[in-house]
Amino acid sequence: MSPTTPATGQPLRRREDEALLRGAASFTGDLRDPRLEGAVGVAFVRSPVAAGSIESVDTAEARSMPGVLDVLTRDDVSDDVPFALPLGAEHAQPLLPADCVGFVGQVVAAVAAETTAQAVDAAEQVVVEYGEGHPVVDLDDAIASTTIEATRVDTPHEVEQFEADVVVELSTWSPRQLPAPLEGRVLAATWEDDRLLLWAATQTPHAYRINLAKLFDLPPESIRVVAPAVGGGFGGKTSRTAEEYLVPMLARRLGRPVRWADTRSEYFATGTQGRGERIDFTIAGTADGRITALRSNLVKDGGAYPLVGVLLAGGYTKAVANGCYDIGHVEFNAVGVTTNRPPTSAYRGAGRSPYIGGLERTVDLYARRVGLDPAEVRRRNLIRPEQMPYETPTGARYDEADYPADLERALDLAGYDGLRRDQATRRSAGDTRALGIGIGCYNHMTTGGGGEEAKVTVEPDGTAIVVTGTTSQGHGHATTWAQIASDVLGIPVESIRVVQGDTDAIATGVGAIGSRSLQTAGMAVHRAATEVVDQARSIAADLLEAAEADIVPADGGAGFHVVGTPARIITWGEVAAQSPDNEVTCGDFYDTEGRNTFPSGTHVAVVEVDTETGAVELGRLISVDDAGTVVNPMIVQGQIHGGMASAIGQVLGEVMVYDESGNPLTTTFVDYGLPTTDQLPSFETVSSATASSFNSLGFKGVGESGTVGATPAVHNAIVDAVAHLGVEHIDLPCTPERVWAAISAARG
């Protein structure tokens, strides 16, 4: 397959969009299934304190309330319930706590009633007495009390390497961020004898099924998890919260279907969050701008019950410890800590966006110290294409890319030299509308190992079905997988149906995480379709009494004929008639075998900062992004746009705030600064497609590239706008108050 084949490389409209736009798509909360008739409602009793002992739980009044069917407490749950154990039992969150609570909003009890309203009323009557606790929310306090070794990589001769002409140190902070999907956690569960059927808004149906199987001591095939249309995920729907296991437990206890959808305030309080990390950088280099050594120390806030958020440093962050730069000496150290806040898991660009953002800020500071333009320092240090594949000091292997060319292209598109001249003119005139230009050179590891399964079937009517273990939350899989299969089968895209998000449809699946789907499921689809064609050609050869090597696909996907004689076609229907079950079907599992790809690029942001108020206006955001071979340019561009919007939100205002007692102060979208349309410019995006040699089709990831690249570009632009006033750094988020305070402090 190549980008010039009929479907691949074409910006086909997403097939799934019409149902979404017309309201015809069925989300979990919209399901109308006879198996859910008479479903029970659920409400959860939640802790109002971040830390404290549980002295007593009185459910008597709640049990007597109208419509109440069950009240679930710790007494009803086994002591050794396996639930979300990525770091082992020592750090695991209990399904329901027995002795103490770890964060505000943690579930203490669950109430089931005939209606959700009755369950909510009854939950308010559950009386829980808490003993005094001592919440920990400060990272330094957390380090003193508990740390989890994440990873450490040292290169020999630490001290000598940092005896350089210029040594720059910068401490960066990436505050907690909420995935904030349109749809929160939504579940519908019912049991049919000993078989669980669960509909869920989840990114990882198969992994969810495995955890449920452990919980109920059942074989995984006794559980079916279905993810209907899913309203966004971004890392926040990996099914690792207690509520997602209590709902099917209540359904089993009651012998009735149970439904639950969290409120937005519940999601704010108890959904998994991303970020929450402090990274201290030290760069050493020469006076002429050559970086010779880099040291970074990362502290990750894992929350009360650390999940995969703490593990990201050893997996995804360490791999890009030197970013896009050719640095001979690199030291990387990371620890996780527990605090009395909700667990941190993944969020778009997890383990990479905060790190690359901090590294790029430090590179800008280094450029300032040596008196060079930030673009020039990058030119002198970027890994060159002839060095690819590049073995990093921390043990990663970067695939093919041209970092210097992408930088130059982005600068040219932005009109970089002209922007610098405009900036100088404004500064000399004392203009209070300060211009800032920020650069973000990025790469990031995707996939994270493993693989995906796919099955391709051609039916007697000449249509095809593609089944994968991946689950789309707006990724465009239904279109992309059809494009890949179409190029192999010769069947039109509109005649190919895609099935996903159903554990009964295919045996395995990792899910939509780590920008991995195209490189794993896409490869499996291509290989399975190729096997189908090989099988069909063999059957057609027998029917046409010709050599298999002489059989070629007919135009329009009609079937097969002997090369040079298109008049006699063996249709797909005739081929299927000669196959078991009247269909031609093949499955494939594609394993990356550790060949993780590293999409990359350069983003340039242009901002104006009102130096009298601190207000920031993002005027332009230009990106050159290398995602390898592109199947659908429109979908790729949409992924980049979404990632950019996420980055803008992080830089300008998205932050989960807690007081010193661990109480959340960010509880609604009134408090949480999601970017609005007036804060988003018209994105200027260009594709730079360098095919990867790490898979035969040249695919790389793309879902998180916009976030990783745009975060440092926008952040650097804001600091650059006020650098002439003496400002060297502003912690995220760069709200008007913080920008104004930084300017005021610099002015003394």
**Amino acid 555: pLDDT:** 86
Q: What's the whole-model pTM score?
A: 0.96
Report how far residue 204's alpha carbon sits from residue 83's, in angstroms, rounded to the nearest whole number.
Answer: 15
User: In the CATH hierarchy, which fold is given to the domain comprising 448-591?
Assistant: Aldehyde Oxidoreductase; domain 4 (3.30.365)
517, 451 contact by CB (below 8 A): no
Closest CA to 51 of 672, 658, 671: 658
- Per the CB < 8 A criterion, the answer to whether 561 and 554 are in contact is yes
Supply the pLDDT for residue 720.
Answer: 98
Can you list the residues of the chain whose pLDDT is less than 50? 1-4, 156-157
Residue 1, pLDDT score: 38
Rounded to an integer, what is the distance from CA 55 to the centroid of its chain?
Answer: 39
Strands (DSSP E) along 60-131, which ranges? 68-72, 100-101, 107-113, 127-130
Contacts of 64 (CB under 8 A, 6+ apart): none
Specify the pLDDT at position 692: 98
For the stretch 259-268, pLDDT in tens is: 999 999 999 9
Amino acid, single-letter form, for residue 83: F
Q: First vs last Cα of the chain: how many Å apart?
A: 62
**pLDDT of the residue at 89:** 75
10 Å Cβ neighbour count for 530?
Answer: 17
pLDDT of residue 150: 65
- The token duo for 277 is 């990390």
Q: How far is CA 586 from the centre of its chain?
A: 30
Residue 694 to residues 77, 382, 598, 700: CA-CA distances in angstroms? Answer: 47, 21, 10, 9
Q: What angle do CA 595, 599, 601 make, to 5 degrees?
A: 155
Q: Which residues pair with 40 in a beta bridge?
A: 258
pLDDT of 505: 97
At residue 78, the pLDDT reads: 74
- 171 CB-near residues (< 8 Å, 6+ apart): 278, 279, 280, 281
- Answer yes or no: same fold for 31-133+185-230+237-270 and 277-446+596-747: no
| Triad 397, 403, 407: Cα angle to 5° | 155
CA–CA dist 57, 98 (Å, integer): 10
Domain segments of the chain as ranges: 31-133+185-230+237-270, 277-446+596-747, 448-591
> What pLDDT score does 158 carry?
54
3 state SS of 606 = strand
Distance CA 96, CA 81 (A): 10
Rounded CA gap, 222 and 212, in Å? 10
Q: What is the CATH number of domain 31-133+185-230+237-270?
A: 3.90.1170.50
Please write the tens of the pLDDT for every residue from 4-50. 458 999 999 999 999 989 999 999 999 999 999 999 999 999 999 99
Q: Which amino acid is at 454?
A: A
Contact 544, 562 (CB under 8 A): yes
The span from the CA of 183 to the CA of 264, in Å, is 9
pLDDT of residue 4: 41
Q: Where are the beta strands (DSSP E) in 205-255?
A: 223-226
Pick the CATH number of 277-446+596-747 from 3.60.21.10, 1.10.287.180, 3.30.365.10, 3.40.50.1820: 3.30.365.10
What pLDDT score was predicted for residue 557? 86
